Amino acid sequence: MRTISPTCMITKMVALAVLLLFPFLINSSFASTSGIAHEVVSNEKMQIYVVSLTEQDEGGPNKRVDVEVIIKNLEPNARAFNIFFVKIIDSNGDEHKVSPLLSTVLPIRIPSNDIIRGILVFPIPPDTNAASLVWEESDGSKLTVDLTKIKQPADPIPKSDWVLTPNKGRVISDGRTQLTIHDERLNESPPYYHVDISIKSLSKEAISYSATYSFVKDQDGYLYPPDVKNLDLMYNPLRQGELAAGTEIRGEILFPLVDGVSNVMFIYDEKLGRGSYFAVPEFPYPVALLAAAGTILVLGRMHAIKRKA
């Protein structure tokens, strides 16, 4: 019987790790800035993928159009996706703005190479149909999705490059604010995420804090805001206020989830984009792959030394 040598097996494992890493090294400029539903539409800053479209005519002056999207941040830094940049063009060629109160794509910064998923809601006249979705940012960059066509077979949906791991004991700082996660619990039934954190001011000036600056994002990209109404469910709920230089406050935050959430990323976005920003865990997928490849190489080297001995 033919057998594979340990060295050959190690080489194949390293090659597999490199192949897994390769898609993350491809320049996004290969993707098109226009496309159709179920197709990745991209520029150097972002990707957008239309998952589904539904139209509901409830008998009012407008009908409701729900567009489920996945958006991926391709920029090197964390950023928010301002839904006021998006509009729908109807079958008559007229433009319609998004309804921010009904939409679930929140203006929260997400890390580089991470995704956000949600529903964009548009009111349009009942005698028209949604023809295209246009995302045009303030610098003039634009992505266009034809909503009348669906790609078959569909492109693979955009995925986050981040590995979600436990956060307990993590201490992170940006030089202005220090965040410590003392404890956390991801509960399945009922589904919720409970976290016990400390926030410390490292600034020479007062900084603000609030439970409403925090969110969690699940493995599929859905964002969940904190429960700020049922504070009596927690022993020491985090509220809001200001921290003088060098002071610290500790408190708990509760996030109601939906069934099936298996991992979450905790996000603290001070003043929703105008202050300190933290997203934990902080291990992007390519780093995890490189670490795995490094481990394989070390084990291979150790095996070779052992054989020589």
Do 86 and 71 share a structural domain?
Answer: yes
> Are residues 108 and 51 part of one domain?
yes
Are both 17 and 39 inside the same structural domain?
A: no
Give pLDDT tens digits for 181-229: 999 999 999 999 999 999 999 998 899 999 999 999 998 999 999 999 9
CATH assignment at residue 45: 2.60.40.1240
Asked if residue 163 is part of any domain, the answer here is: no
Tokens of 294: 């490094």
| 135-164 tens-digit pLDDT | 999 999 999 999 999 999 999 999 999 988
Domain boundaries, position 18: 6-23+286-308
Q: Which tops the pLDDT comparison, 288 or 277?
A: 277
Q: How many domains are contained in the chain? A: 3
The reply to whether 242 falls in a domain is yes
User: Which pair of structure tokens corresponds to residue 228?
Assistant: 């700020």
In this prediction, residues 77-105 reach a mean pLDDT of 96
Give the Cα separation of 203 and 207 in Å (integer).
Answer: 7
Angle at 34 between CA 126 and CA 104, to 5 degrees: 55
The separation between CA 108 and the C-alpha centre of its own chain, rounded to angstroms, equals 9
Q: Which residues contact 48 (CB under 8 A, 6 or more apart)?
A: 40, 41, 42, 69, 70, 71, 72, 133, 135, 143, 145
- pLDDT at residue number 274: 82
Regarding whether 261 and 202 lie in a shared domain, the answer is yes
Of 119, 123, 97, the closest CA to residue 223 belongs to 119
Determine, yes or no, domain membership for 56: yes
User: Is 237 among the domain residues?
Assistant: yes
| pTM for this model (two decimals) | 0.80
Maximum separation of any 2 CA atoms in the chain, in Å: 83
